[in-house]
Structure 1
Amino acid sequence: MNFIFGMIVLALTIIAVRVIWTTLWQTLTFLKSAIRRIQLKMAQRNLKSISPVTMPCLPAQADWDIMAESVRYEIQRRNTGLDREANRLDAQLQAKLKTLELIKADIQIAKLEQELQKVRPAVLVQVPEAKKRKRTKASEPVVSGENVSTVPHQVHQLRAALKGGAVKVDNANGIVRH
C-alpha cells in the first residue's frame, strides 16, 4: 500500500513540477517578447527623431503633380485644427482690443466732461428787486463762484446751455448759438 501511495505522490510531484516549469517558461517567454517590443519601439522613435525621412524607390514613373497635391492636402488637413485655434485666438484678441478702445473712449469722455464742468460759467442768479411794473432790460446778474463778464445777448444762450438744450458752438469766435 505504501508503494501505491508513493507512486501517487511521485506522479503528483512530477505533474506539479511540469506545471510549474511550463508556467515559468511561458512567463519568461512573455517577458522576453515584451522587452523586445519595448526596445523595438524605442529604437524606432530614436530613428524617426534622428534620421531624415527618405522616400523609397518607386517601381514606376511617378506623377509628381498628383503627389504634390496629396502632400498639400495632407498638410492642410493637419493644419486645420491649428487654423481654427488661431482664428479663435485672433477673435478673442480683437474683442479685447475693442473693449480696451471703449474703455479709453469712456476715460476720454469723462475727462472732457470734467473740463466742461470747469469751463462752464457759474449759475447766474438774478437778485429779485422790489415789485416794479416795468421790467428793465439791463438787470444786474449775480455770479456765484467766479467773476465772469457777460454780454447781455449771451445770457439767454448760457441759460439754455445750462438747461441742456441744443447748443452749437461757432468756431470762429466761440459764441454759443441755438
Structure 2
Amino acid sequence: MAPFAHLIGPGGAGKTTIGSILADRLNWRFVDMDQCFWSSLGNIAEFIERNGYVEYARHNVQLYEQLKRDVSGPTICAVSSGFMTYPLDIAPRYPSIRDRIEADALTALLLPTFDFESCSNLIVARQLSRSYLKGNEADELRKIRDRFPVFMRLNCERFRSDGSPEQIGETIEQFIRKSLASTDS
C-alpha cells in the first residue's frame, strides 16, 4: 500500500501551504480535503448554511473514505480542520477512521503554537483574513477554543507552524522519511 500522510489541525494552521511544499519535496501527490469538497459539493460555508454542520461532517467522512479507496500512490492529505473533532456518532465508521489517523506514524498535527491563548489569537486572525469563509471573530474564536484541547489530546507528532513554511516542510519531510524507514526495517 502506498504511503499516505495526514496533516491535521485547525483552519489557519498551515496544512495546505505546508502540504503543498511537502508533497513537492517528497514528489508525492497532494490532496486538500477542503478542495475535494469544493470540487464535488461546492462552497463549504454555503453547504453548511443550507444543510447544517452535521451533514457537512457526514459528507466529509464519506469523501475521506472515497479518497482513501482511490489513492494509488504516495499522498500527503491536508485533512479538513474539524475532521478530528467530530462527534464520534457522526458516521458509523468515523470512530475507527479517526483512531487510525491519530495512530498513523505519518500523521502530523500542525498548530502555530502549543499555547492556548497565542494559538487562538493567531488562528482567528488567519481565518478572518480568508473572505471566502464568511467567518466572524466570535465563531472563529469559539471553534479554536473548542478544538484546541481536542487537538492537544491527540497522540500523534506535533509541529509548530509559525515559522517559515519551507523550514516546516523540511522538518515534516524528515519526520516522514524517518517514520517510513522505521516501518521498513
Band of TM-score, shorter chain: under 0.3
TM-score normalised over the length of structure 1: 0.17
Task: Specify which structure has the higher proportion of strand.
Answer: 2
Task: Specify which structure has the higher proportion of helix.
Answer: 1
If asked which structure has higher relative contact order (CA below 8 Å, sep 6+), I would say 2
TM-score normalised over the length of structure 2: 0.17
